[in-house]
Amino acid sequence: MNTEITQINYDSNKEKIKFPEKLGYGLGDFACNLVWNSLSMFILYFYTDVMGMAAAIISTLMLVVRIISGFMDIAAGVVVDKTNTKYGKARPWILWMAIPFGIGTILLFSVPNIGNTGKLAYIIGTYVLINVVYTAINIPYGVLNSLMTQDQNERSEVNIYRMFCSTAGSLCVSALVLPLVSFFGGGQQAWILTFGIFGISATLIFFITFKTTKERIVAVNKEKSQNISFTYGIKALIKNRYWIIIVLLLVVVFMSMGIMGGSMIYYAQHILKDKNLVGGLSIAQNVPTLIVMLIIAMPLIKKCGKRNTAILGSVIFILGSVIALIDLTSIPLIYISIIVRGAGNALVSATIFALLADTIEYGEWKTNIRTEGLVYSAGNFGLKVGIGLGTAIVGWLLAFSHYNGEAMVQPHSAITTINILFTWLPMILAVVQIILLKFYKLDKLYTKIISDLEKRKYTEE
Three-state secondary structure call for residue 52:
coil
Q: Which of 191, 71, 197, 210 is CA-nearest to residue 140?
A: 210
- Interval 50-64 mean pLDDT: 86
Q: Which long-range contacts (CB under 8 A, 24 or more apart) does 450-456 make?
A: 450/10, 450/150, 450/152, 450/361, 452/365, 453/8, 453/10, 453/361, 453/364, 453/365, 454/10
Per-residue confidence (pLDDT) for residue 453, from 0 to 100: 78
H helix or E strand, kind and range, residue 229 = strand 226-229
Q: Which domain holds residue 242?
A: 16-219+233-455
Which of the 8 DSSP states describes residue 9?
A: -
Q: Exposure of 142 by Cβ count < 10 A (0-12 exposed, 13-18 middle, 19+ buried)?
A: buried
**Residue 118 domain flag:** yes
CA 443 to each of CA 308, 321, 397, 420: distance values in angstroms, whole numbers, following the listed order? 9, 28, 38, 35
* CATH number, position 214: 1.20.1250.20
**Residue 44 domain flag:** yes
- Interval 307-313 mean pLDDT: 96
CA 385 to each of CA 54, 97, 309, 355, 406: distance values in angstroms, whole numbers, following the listed order? 22, 22, 24, 19, 29
**Residue 412 domain flag:** yes
Instruction: Please state, in angstroms and rounded to a whole number, the distance separating the CA atoms of residues 282 and 290.
Output: 12
User: Which pLDDT band holds residue 239 (cuts at 50, 70, 90)?
Assistant: confident
Per-residue confidence (pLDDT) for residue 223, from 0 to 100: 43
- Tell me which of 169 and 37 has the higher pLDDT: 169
Per-residue confidence (pLDDT) for residue 11, from 0 to 100: 47
| Prediction pTM value | 0.75
Of the candidate ranges 15-24, 177-186, 217-226, 370-379, the one whose mean pLDDT is the lowest: 217-226
Question: In the chain, pLDDT over 90 holds for what percent of residues?
Answer: 48
**Residue 339 domain flag:** yes
- Tell me which of 8 and 431 has the higher pLDDT: 431
**Residue 6 domain flag:** no
Per-residue confidence (pLDDT) for residue 15, from 0 to 100: 67
Instruction: Please state, in angstroms and rounded to a whole number, the distance separating the CA atoms of residues 70 and 32.
Output: 16
**Residue 445 domain flag:** yes
**Residue 145 domain flag:** yes
Judging by DSSP bridges, how do beta strands 226-229 and 2-5 pair with one another? antiparallel
Q: Is the pLDDT of residue 354 over 70?
A: yes
- Interval 388-403 mean pLDDT: 89
- Interval 363-383 mean pLDDT: 81
**Mean of per-residue pLDDT scores for the chain:** 87
Q: pLDDT of 65-97, one tens digit each?
A: 888 888 888 888 888 878 888 899 999 999 999
Angle formed at CA 358 by CA 353 and CA 361, multiple of 5 degrees: 145
**Contact in structure between 130 and 166 (CB atoms under 8 Å):** no
Instruction: Please state, in angstroms and rounded to a whole number, the distance separating the CA atoms of residues 239 and 237.
Output: 5
| Domain count within the chain | 1
Q: Which long-range contacts (CB under 8 A, 24 or more apart) does 176-185 make?
A: 176/279, 177/38, 177/42, 178/275, 178/276, 178/278, 178/279, 179/279
Instruction: Please state, in angstroms and rounded to a whole number, the distance separating the CA atoms of residues 185 and 181.
Output: 6
Q: Is the pLDDT of residue 107 over 90?
A: yes
User: Which pLDDT band holds residue 209 (cuts at 50, 70, 90)?
Assistant: very high
Q: Which of 292, 345, 300 is CA-nearest to residue 320?
A: 345
Q: Which of 271, 437, 411, 256 is CA-nearest to residue 352?
A: 437
Question: In the chain, pLDDT over 70 holds for what percent of residues?
Answer: 93
Buried b / exposed e over 176-198, threshold 16 CB at 10 Å, is bbbebbeebeeebebbbbbbbeb
**Contact in structure between 307 and 358 (CB atoms under 8 Å):** no
Q: Is the pLDDT of residue 279 over 90?
A: no
Angle formed at CA 171 by CA 410 and CA 396, multiple of 5 degrees: 35
Instruction: Please state, in angstroms and rounded to a whole number, the distance separating the CA atoms of residues 49 and 408.
Output: 12
- Residue 59 has, within 13 A of its CA and on its CB side, a CA count of 22
- Tell me which of 108 and 289 has the higher pLDDT: 108
**Residue 4 domain flag:** no
Q: Is the pLDDT of residue 22 over 60?
A: yes
- Interval 131-154 mean pLDDT: 89
Which of the 8 DSSP states describes residue 42?
A: T
